[in-house]
Amino acid sequence: MTRLHHLLALICLTLVANAALAETSAGSLATVKTLQVNRHLSEDGKACIDCHRDVSPGQVADWKESRHAHAGVSCIDCHAVPEDSPMAVRHANTSDTRVFVSPLVSPKTCGRCHADAKKQFDASGHFRAYRQIIPKDSLHALVQVHEGQAIPELQNAPDETGCMQCHGTEIKLDEHNRPTPQTWPNNGMGNIYPDGATGSCTACHSRHRFDIAEARKPNACASCHLGPDHPNIEIFNNSKHGHIYNTQGDDWNWDSAPDAWEPGDYRAPTCATCHMSGIGELSVTHNVSERLYWNLWAKRSDVRGSDDVMSPLLGDGPAGREKMKKVCSNCHTSTHTDGFFAQGDKAVRLYNEGYYEPATAMLTELREAGLLKDNPWTDDFQITYYYLWHHQGRRARQGAMMGAPDYAHWHGFFELQQDLYKLQQIHARRMESGLIE
């Protein structure tokens, strides 16, 4: 017996199987649960593992280390689909199994056992990550016409290797019910699955470990939240919290149960601590919009106040601010926290009033005078306007609100004033001459 066979035999024989939770999911510690335990994997369930440890040993090894393996949740529980499912593939290589499977596992499947996580996700800004792009013609033109140079068979490459990998897409199936290479693989946050579910639980909990420790680390967010237009990982690294995480994080305790991970396990917050984790009186939330006050990614930042998941103002700003302050209060006093938000809010208002408003007034004037080029991506005014709100403006706002002085200042307000002066010069030239240079 190889070591792997031995371990697998151990898992099959002795470990807990089918932990059926009476409550919807692991949530608040105050919720009393009844746990019913049946110690077995079905014959079909064992067959998957037996064969796949040769076919795809990496997947089996990851699964074996997961909480799912401990709880007896195995390949078949996530991959088996009803015969009439649009994604059903009869397992071709295994003549003796009657099981229909799919390589796709949507949040609907996870939600069978983790109903709260799915419900919260469905109410979050992450849910709309793909849906909100669908109606935006100017963005499709950017990708296909300008980046893709309108070459019919190649024009979607920038989407397939870029946008889609972070935002997701609508996953389409081929004639064998397998996902098409135009739409999969991807871990994009807002994928729409053929079974109608939306989202990507693997975006933060990579398969087949499905680990909470991984999702608690900033690296889990960094694959998408980076770069010139939303440099959240760079901002975190620039903050005092990031400094402490980067020097001591390896020694922290990352495995505590949900709602029991608290200061002491760590010295400084990560992305998850502030935006998602249970801490103090706050419970774990998969709704990353819940603790926000402003909308910082928008052209102009306004206070959130909408229940509509597609609204740019999704959330309840004042309630979100209270929750975020409760995070801080675990390690800082109210004088410190109130002072910090007074500084940050002032920067957001300066961006709105000092930059967004005057820049937009000039844009409107030029548009009305017919002094903008049709192709925005060859027009110095429109390009600079785009950088003003989408790149430097977001950096200034997000840098200020998350304690990153280099992003608030050098990558933020310093560049904003340069943009504004440039816009003023182009605007003056065009209005005086009546011509586009």
Structure tokens at 36: 């019913």
C-alpha R_g of the chain: 25
What are the angstrom distances between the C-alpha of 196 and each of 102, 107, 110, 170, 188? 15, 10, 14, 10, 16
**382 scored as a contact of ligand HEC (CB under 6 A):** no
Structure tokens at 209: 């470990």
Give the residue from 11, 26, 22 showing the smallest Cα distance to 74: 11
* Stretch of 5-13, 34-42, 115-123, 429-437 contacting ligand HEC, by CB under 6 A: 115-123
Would you count residue 296 as binding ligand HEC (CB under 6 A)? Answer: yes
Return d(Cα 176, Cα 80) in angstroms, integer: 16
Quote the tokens at residue 293.
Answer: 């006050």
Q: Is 271 in the site for ligand HEC (CB under 6 A)?
A: yes
CB of 221 to ligand HEC, least distance (A): 3
Does 87 engage in binding with ligand HEC (CB under 6 A)?
no
Which residue in 17, 41, 328, 388 binds ligand HEC (CB under 6 A)? 328
The Cα–Cα gap between 75 and 44 comes to 10
Cβ proximity to ligand HEC, 121 vs 413, nearer residue: 121
| Alpha-carbon dihedral angle through residues 222, 68, 65, 39, given to the nearest 10 degrees | 170
Whether 67 and 176 have beta carbons less than 8 Å apart is answered as no
In whole angstroms, how close is the CB of 383 to ligand HEC at the nearest point? 15
Please pick, from the candidates 89, 141, 363, 436, the single residue that binds ligand HEC as defined by CB under 6 A: 89
The answer to whether residue 217 forms part of the interface with ligand HEC (CB under 6 A) is no
225 binds ligand HEC (CB under 6 A): yes
402, 408, 416, 420: which one binds ligand HEC (CB under 6 A): 402
CB of 307 to ligand HEC, least distance (A): 12
Residues 404-433 that bind ligand HEC (CB under 6 A): none
Query: Are residues 366 and 381 in contact, defined by beta-carbon separation less than 8 angstroms?
Result: yes
For the bound state, the minimum distance from the C-beta of residue 302 to ligand HEC, rounded and expressed in Å, comes to: 10
Binders in 240-259 for ligand HEC, by CB under 6 A: 240-241, 244, 258
How far apart, in Å, are the Cα atoms of 369 and each of 62, 258, 408? 61, 58, 34
Tell me the residue length of the chain: 437
Residue position matching structure tokens 């409550």: 23
Q: Is residue 166 a contact residue for ligand HEC (CB under 6 A)?
A: yes
* Nearest one of 10, 15, 67 to 38, comparing CA atoms: 15
Residue 134: CB atoms within 10 A of its CB come to: 13
Q: Find the part of the chain contacting ligand HEC (CB under 6 A) among 3-11, 149-157, 393-401, 418-426.
A: 393-401
Q: Is 347 in the site for ligand HEC (CB under 6 A)?
A: no
Residues 93-112 close enough to bind ligand HEC by CB under 6 A: 93-94, 97, 99, 101, 103-105, 107, 109-110, 112
Distance between CA atoms of 117 and 277, rounded to whole angstroms?
A: 12
Tell me which amino acid residue 259 is: D
Q: Which span (29-37, 283-291, 352-360, 412-420) binds ligand HEC, by CB under 6 A? A: 283-291
- Contact (CB, 8 A) for 318 and 303: yes
Q: Which range of residues in 4-12, 88-96, 354-362, 375-383 is near ligand HEC by CB under 6 A?
A: 88-96
The distance of closest approach from Cβ of residue 8 to ligand HEC in the complex, given in angstroms and rounded to an integer, is 10
- The neighbour count for residue 387, using CB atoms within 10 Å, is 18
Check binding of 400 to ligand HEC (CB under 6 A): no
Tell me the number of residues near ligand HEC by CB under 6 A. 132
Q: Does 148 bind ligand HEC (CB under 6 A)?
A: no
State the nearest-atom distance from the C-beta of 424 to ligand HEC, in Å.
Answer: 27
Among 345, 385, 343, which Cα is nearest to 365's?
385
Give the separation between CA 258 and CA 252, rounded to whole angstroms. 16
Within residues 308-327, the interface with ligand HEC by CB under 6 A covers: 312, 314, 321, 324, 327
| 282 sits near ligand HEC (criterion: CB under 6 A) | no
* Tokens encoding 337: 């926290």
Q: Does 331 bind ligand HEC (CB under 6 A)?
A: yes
Q: Which residue lies nearer to ligand HEC by CB, 221 or 416?
A: 221
